[in-house]
Structure 1
Amino acid sequence: MVTSGCSDTMHTSGTTATMVTKGYAFAPPAFRPFCARQPKLCSTGGQVKQVKLTPARQAELAAVNSSVNHRIKERSDLDSVGSADDWRVPTKDGDCEDFAILKKSELLKRGWPASALLLTVVTLGGAGHTVLTVRTDKGDLIMDNRSSAVRNWSRTSYRYFARQSQSEKGKWTRIAS
Structure 2
Amino acid sequence: VVFCMQHRDQCANTGGPSIMVLDKKRKSQLISVNNSINHTIRPVNDKPGADVWSMDVTAGDCEDFALTKRKKLMQLGWSSESLKIAVAITNNGEGHAVLIAKTSEGDLVLDNRFNAIKDWRKTDLRWVMAQTGDNPKYWAKVKANVEEPQLVSAREG
Calculate the TM-score normalised by the size of structure 1.
Answer: 0.75
- Equivalent positions of 1:112-127 (< 5 A) are 112-124=78-90, 125-127=92-94
What residue number does 2:71 align with?
105
- Deviation, structure 1 residue 127: 3.3
Please state whether the residue corresponding to 1:130 is helix, strand or coil. strand
Give the match's secondary structure for 1:131: strand
Aligned residue for 1:38? 7
Name the structure 2 match of 1:10: none
Q: What secondary structure, in the 3-state scheme, does the structure 1 residue paired with 2:84 have?
A: strand
SS of the residue aligned with 1:119?
Answer: strand
CA RMSD between the two structures: 1.8
Kindly, what percent of the aligned residue pairs are identical?
34
Match for residue 111 of structure 2? 144
Check 1:114–1:168 CA distance in 2 against 1; reply closer, same or farther (3 A cut).
closer
Larger relative contact order, structure 1 or 2 (CA cutoff 8 Å, min sep 6): 1
Q: Is the contact between residue 116 and residue 136 of structure 1 (CA under 8 Å) also seen in structure 2?
A: yes
Cross-structure match for 1:74: 43
Give the CA deviation at 1:46: 2.9
How many aligned positions are there?
A: 143
C-alpha contact (below 8 Å) 1:45/1:166 kept by paired residues: no
Moved more, 42-51 or 55-64: 42-51
Q: Would you say the 8 A contact 1:50–1:136 is kept in 2?
A: yes
Pairwise CA distance, 1:49: 1.2
Partner-residue secondary structure (3-state), 1:53: coil
**Partner residue of 2:140?**
173
Query: Structure 2 residue aligned with 1:91, among 22, 45, 57?
Result: 57
Within 2, Cα distance between the matches of 1:74 and 1:95?
6
Distance (Å, rounded) in 2 between the aligned partners of 1:165 and 1:46: 15
Q: 1:36 to 1:168 in 2, by over 3 A?
A: closer
TM-score by structure 2 length?
0.84
- 1:170 and 1:96, CA in 2 relative to 1: closer, same or farther beyond 3 A? same
Find the aligned partners of 1:44 and 1:126 in 2 and give their Cα distance: 33
In the alignment, what sits opposite 1:11? none
Q: 1:60 aligns with which of 29, 32, 41?
A: 29
Unaligned runs of 5+ in 1: 1-31
The 2-side partners of 1:169 and 1:84 are apart by: 21
